Amino acid sequence: MRIKYILFFIAAIGITSCVSQRKFTDLKKDYDDLHKQNANCNKRSNELQDSLDEAHRTMRLQAAAIGELNQDSSMMGTSNRKLNSLYKQVNDAYEKLLGKVKELESQNNLRSQELSSELVDAQKQLKEREADLEQRTQNLRQKDADMQDLKTKLNAMQADLVARQKKVHELEQVLNQKDSVVKALKATISDALVGFKDQGLTVTVKNGKVYVSMEDKLLFQSGKYTINTNGKDALLKLAQVLNQKSDVNVMVEGHTDNVPYKSNGGVIKDNLDLSVLRATEVARILTVDGKIDGSRIVSAGRGDTQPLMDNSTSEGRAKNRRTEIILTPKLSELFKILGE
C-alpha cells in the first residue's frame, strides 16, 4: 500500500506545472524502474505463494517435506529481506523527491513574493503615470482654453486695429486736406497782399497755420496804436480774402521789443498794454471795416515775451515790433475723428 502511495505521489508530482520537464522525466524513469521491480516482486510473491501451497499439500502428504519447507522458508526470508531493501530504496527516493518538491515550492513561494512585490511596484508606477497623464491632460486643456482666449483677444485686437487704421487713414486725409487748404490760403493771401511785401509784410506757414506778420512801420507810428492809412488798406485786402474763407478762424497777436514803454500817464502803461491795444485795433478794423464776423476773431497782446530776433540790435527790435494775424482752418472734421 505504501509503495502504491509513493507511486501515486510521484505520478501526481509529475503532472504538476511546478516540476520542470527534465526533472519529471527523471522521476518518470525512477517510477518505471520501481514499477518493474514491484511487478517482479509480485511475480515472485505469487511464485512463493504457489510454493507455500505446494508445501502445505506436501506437509499433509509427507512429513518429510518439512525440511524442504524450511528450505523454502529460508528462501522466502531472503526474498523478504530483498523486498525490505527495495522498500528502503523506494522510500529514500521518495524522501529525496519530497525534498526536491519542497525546495521547488520554496523557490516558487519566493518567486511569487518577488512577483507580488514587482506587481505592487508596477501598479504604483502605473497610478503615478496615470496621475501624471491626467495632470498633463488638464494642463493641455487649460492651454487650449488659454489659446482660444488668446485667439479671441487677437481677433478683437485685429478688428480694433483695422478700425484704428481706418481712422488713421481718415485722419491723414483730413490732415492732407487741411495742409492743402493752408497752402492754398497762403497762396491766396500772398497774391492779395503782394503789394505790401516790401513794406514789412510777410506770409508764412508754421505748425499748420498761416501767419500774416506786419511790422510796426506798416501799421503804427512809434508808441501809437492807431492804424495808418497804408496799414488799413492791407488789412482790408486781407479781410476780402477772409470773407471768402468762412472756415478760417483769426487770431490777432500784438508784439513789442524789450525797450520799456515811457508812459505819460495815459491809457498805455507798458509794452503789454501797447501790444493789447494794437491787437484790439487790428481786430476792430477787420470786423468793423472789413465786415468779418466777430465770432471768428480773437485778439491778444504778448508784449515782449515772444521775440523773433535778438533785441540787442535795432534790426532785431524792428522785427520784434510786429502784429501777427494767425489764420487757422477750422478742424471740426479732424476733431470729430479724434473724438471718435
My answer on whether 222 and 316 are in the same domain is: yes
My answer on whether 203 and 323 are in the same domain is: yes
CA pair distance 305, 290, nearest whole angstrom:
29
16 within domain boundaries: yes
Residue 63 has pLDDT above 70, yes or no: yes
Instruction: Tell me the chain's radius of gyration from C-alpha atoms.
Output: 67
Helix (H, G, I), strand (E, B) or coil at 253: strand
Residue 100 has pLDDT above 70, yes or no: yes
Among residues 106, 125, 144, the one where a domain terminates is 125
175 within domain boundaries: no
Residue 10 has pLDDT above 50, yes or no: yes
Q: Where are the alpha helices (DSSP H) in the chain?
A: 2-15, 21-61, 65-192, 216-219, 229-243, 271-284, 314-320, 332-339
Residue 55 has pLDDT above 90, yes or no: no
75 within domain boundaries: yes
The residue among 335 and 111 whose pLDDT is bigger is 111
Among residues 125, 146, 178, the one where a domain terminates is 125
My answer on whether 23 and 100 are in the same domain is: yes
Total domains in the chain come to 2
In the prediction, which pLDDT does 123 show?
86
The residue among 317 and 90 whose pLDDT is bigger is 317
Q: Are strands 297-303 and 248-255 parallel, antiparallel or unpaired?
A: parallel
261 within domain boundaries: yes
CATH number at residue 248: 3.30.1330.60
Helix (H, G, I), strand (E, B) or coil at 293: coil
157 within domain boundaries: no
Among residues 70, 103, 125, the one where a domain terminates is 125
Residue 334 has pLDDT above 50, yes or no: no
Residue 29 has pLDDT above 50, yes or no: yes
My answer on whether 82 and 208 are in the same domain is: no
The range of the structural domain enclosing residue 219 comes to 193-339
Torsion of CA 278, 280, 285, 287, to 10 degrees: 160
Distance of CA 289 to the CA centre of its chain: 71
In the prediction, which pLDDT does 282 show?
96
My answer on whether 119 and 248 are in the same domain is: no
179 within domain boundaries: no
CA pair distance 321, 317, nearest whole angstrom:
6
My answer on whether 116 and 229 are in the same domain is: no
139 within domain boundaries: no
My answer on whether 209 and 100 are in the same domain is: no
In the prediction, which pLDDT does 113 show?
83
In the prediction, which pLDDT does 332 show?
52
My answer on whether 202 and 73 are in the same domain is: no
Confidence at 175, pLDDT banded by 50, 70, 90: low
In the prediction, which pLDDT does 258 show?
93
320 within domain boundaries: yes
Q: Are strands 322-329 and 297-303 parallel, antiparallel or unpaired?
A: unpaired
207 φ, ψ to 5°?
A: 55, 35
My answer on whether 204 and 334 are in the same domain is: yes
The residue among 9 and 63 whose pLDDT is bigger is 63
My answer on whether 197 and 335 are in the same domain is: yes
In the prediction, which pLDDT does 9 show?
56
The three cell numbers of residue 38 are: 514491484
Residues paired with 297 in a beta bridge: 250
In the prediction, which pLDDT does 339 show?
56
My answer on whether 117 and 206 are in the same domain is: no
Mean pLDDT of 199-212: 92
